[in-house]
Amino acid sequence: MVKVYDAGNITEAHIVRGMLEAHGIEAHVGGHYLQGGIGELVVQGFAAVYVEDTEMVAARSLIDAYERGEL
C-alpha cells in the first residue's frame, strides 16, 4: 500500500477514504490510535489514507479534484 493523502485529522481522512471507495478504489485510513496521544499539541501527518500501489494514479486524480472542490 502507498500513502496518497495526509489529512488534517482522522475525520477528514475518513471523508477522503469514503470518496475514493465511492469511486471504486479500496482505501485504508491509518493513524487512528495516534490521535489520542497527541493531547493539545498541534501535530500534522498522523492521519493518512492509503491505497494499493496499482490504484495510486487514479486515487491521486480524485484527491486532486476533491482538493479543488470539484467533488
The reported pLDDT for the residue numbered 43 is: 52
Give 2-29 pLDDT, tens digit per residue: 999 999 888 999 999 999 999 999 999 9
The reported pLDDT for the residue numbered 53 is: 97
Q: How far is the C-alpha of 17 from the C-alpha of 12, rounded, in Å? A: 9
- Domains for the chain: give ranges and CATH numbers: 2-67 (3.30.70.1530)
The reported pLDDT for the residue numbered 31 is: 77
Closest CA to 49 of 15, 5, 2, 1: 5
pTM given for the model: 0.81
Give 30-57 pLDDT, tens digit per residue: 976 555 555 555 555 578 999 999 999 9
Helix (H, G, I), strand (E, B) or coil at 71: coil
